[in-house]
Chains A and B, each alone.
Chain A
Amino acid sequence: MIHPIAVGAVVAVAVVTLAAGARGLRVARTPADFLVATRAVPPALNASAISGEYLSAASFLGIAALVMVDGLGALWYAVGYLAGYLVLLTLVAAPLRRFGAYTIPDFAEGRLDSPALRRVATFMVLVICGFYVLPQLTGAGLTMQAVLGTPGWVGVTALGSVVTLAIASGGMKSITLAQAVQYWIKLVALLVPAVVLLSLAHRPPVGAIEGRAGPVFARTTTVRFPGPETIVVARPVTVRISGVLLRSGGAPVGDGPRRLTAGAWEVRAGTSVAFPAGPAPEVRGAHAVSGSAWTSPLVLTDGRPIHPLAATYGVIIATFLGALGLPHILVRFYTNVDGRAARRTTAFVLLLLSCFYVLPGIFGWLGRLDAPGLYTSGQTQSVVLALPALQAQGLTGSLLGALTAAGAFAAFLSTTSGLLIAMAGALSHDILHRGPVAFRLSALGLGLAAT
C-alpha cells in the first residue's frame, strides 16, 4: 500500500535538496569551493548545517524507541550527544579552524608533521564514514518501505542518487544550504506532530507509569501484527481477533471474539487483535520494563539494571567524547571564516540541538502512555513514525505521518551527504591529490559504491 501524501512530502524534501545543490553548481569551481565552501559560511548558517548533518535519523527515531523500550534513562544519549559539542567548543573548535587545513588528514599531517599520519587519518576517515553511511542507506530503505509502502530498493536508490548528485555538482558549497534547510525541516517535521499529539493525548491519571505495572491499554485497543510474534498473556482475557492466533503446539483460533487463557500465544503475520482496557500482553523475548524502572534516570542494559550507575556514566563519557571523533562534523568547521566564527558556530549548534532534543523524550513518553500496542506487536522501534497514525484519525493522522516521514528522509539525506563529502574530500585531496574533477568523480564513485 502506497501512501500518496507521505510520498509527496518525501519527494518535496528531495526536490529542495537538489534545488540547493543546483545553486552551488553555478558558483563552485575551485578546490576551496568544493572542500570548504570558500571558508565564508556565516556562523548561524553553518550551525544549522552542522545540526542538520549531526541529527541522523538514528539519533531521534532511535532515542525515542530506546526511551519507549528501556525508559527515560535512554535520554542520556541525547544529553551526551549535545554535551559533546561543549567539549568540542572548548577544546578543538577554534584551533582546528585556525590551522587552515582542507581536510582532517591535512590537519593531521600538518600539525604533527608526518606524511604517514596523513595516510592513517585518511584511512580512518574512510573507514569511519564508510561504516556510518551503510546503515544510513539501509535504514532509509527500511523506513521508506514502512512509511511509504515502496519496495526497499526505492528508498536506497532515491537517497543515494539525490545525495550523490547534490555533492558531485557543488561539493561543500552546494550541500551547506541543503543541510541547513534539512535541520529546519526536521525540527518542524517533529515539533508539529509532537505538539498536536500532546494535545490529543488521552491523559491518563497522574502517576500512570509508577509502580511495578508494565504498559497498560487505557481503552479497547486494536493491535496489528505486521510479522509473526509470540505474546504472553498474564491473565485470561477476551479479545476480538481478525486473523489467526494459536496456542503453542495447539489448534489455531480464528476470527471473532475469543477468550485467551493465560500463557504464550503465537500470532500469525497480518493478524489484528482488539484487546480490552487493562494490562498489555508482553512480547516473548522483549520484556517491557515496569513503571518505576521506566522512569528511572539510569541506563538499562538489555532491559535490566546491570550496574546501572556505571552503565549511565559509561554512556555519558562515550557520548561526551564521541562528537570529537566524527570526521564529517569536524570537516564542516573548516568552512568557518575564522577561529572566532568557529566558536560562535559551535555555541549556536548547542542551541539548535537543545531545541531538537526535547522531542525524542516526548515521543517516547507518548508512546509509553498512548501506544502500548507497539510493545505487544514488537514494533517499538517505529514509535515516531507510527504514533501519528495511531493517535490521530483520518487526514490529520496522514498529514502528521507524512511530516514525520519527511523529517526522517531529511535526516537520512543530510547525514549521508555529510559522510559522502568527508569521504570524497579525503579520497580526492589526500589520496589522489587532485582538484574538483577528482572530487566530483570520487563523490560519484563512492555514492554508487555505497548505493
Chain B
Amino acid sequence: MADPRPARQVVTAAPRRTGAGAAWPGRDDLYRRDEAAGLLLRSLLRAQLGVTMSVLVPAVVVIALYPLAAGAFPVVATWHVGPVPLTLLVLGGGVYPPLVGLGFWYVRRARRVEDRFTELLGES
C-alpha cells in the first residue's frame, strides 16, 4: 500500500455459482453502443427502482398504520388478547414477520431483475 491511490478495481472472491456469471458481463457493450446502452441502463434502473419501491412502500404502510390507528382511536391501547396487551403482540413480535418476509422477497426479485438483464445483454 505504498501508493496512496492505487488503480481501483472490483475485487470479487470465489465461489461463483455456475451459469449466472459475473453481475456486469456486458459492461463494455454498454459503453460502446450509445443509444442501446442508454435504453438498457434505463430499463435496468427502472426495474430496480420498481422492486425497491414495491418493498419499501408496503413496509412503511405496515409500520405507519398502527400508531395512526392508536392516535385516532385511543381505545386500541386498552385491548388485550388474553392477558397480553395487543400493543405488545403487535410491536413486540407481530410486525416483524411481514418485514422479514419483504426482505427475503426483495432478495429474490432483485436477483431476478439482474438475471434478466444479463440475459438481455447476452442476446443483443
Contacts and interface: CB of A to CB of B under 8 A. Distances in A.
Interface of A: 31-32, 38-40, 72-73, 75-76, 78-79, 82-83, 85-87, 89-91, 94, 98-100, 110, 115, 203-204, 206-210, 292-293, 295-298, 308-309, 312-313, 316, 337-340, 343-344, 346-347, 350-351, 354, 357-358, 360-362, 365, 429, 433-435
B97 interface: yes
Contacts of B102: 86
A296 B99 contact: no
A360 B110 CA distance: 33
Interface stretch (B31-39, B86-94, B116-124): B86-94
Contacts of B25: none
Contacts of A361: 88, 91-93
A443 B10 CA distance: 27
Given A83-B99, A86-B99, A360-B92, 9 more contacts: A39-B13, A72-B87, A75-B91, A89-B107, A292-B77, A316-B63, A337-B12, A338-B12, A354-B96
Contact of B78 (A73, A210, A346, A362): A210
Interface of B: 1, 4-5, 8-15, 23, 51-52, 55-56, 59, 63-64, 66-68, 70-71, 74, 76-78, 80, 82-88, 90-93, 95-97, 99-100, 102-104, 106-107, 110-111, 114
Nearest to A40: B13
Sorted from nearest, which 9 A-B pairs have the closest CB atoms?
A: A361-B92, A354-B96, A75-B91, A296-B77, A350-B103, A72-B87, A295-B85, A309-B71, A297-B87
A343 B71 contact: no
A110 B13 CA distance: 20
A340 B99 contact: no
Contacts of A357: 92, 96
Given A313-B67, A354-B99, A365-B88, A38 B83 contact: no
Nearest to B86: A295
Contacts of B56: 86-87, 90
B80 A207 contact: yes
5 contacts: A83-B63, A86-B59, A210-B78, A297-B77, A350-B104
Task: Give the interface centre of B76, B84, B91 by most chain A CB atoms within 10 Å.
Answer: B91
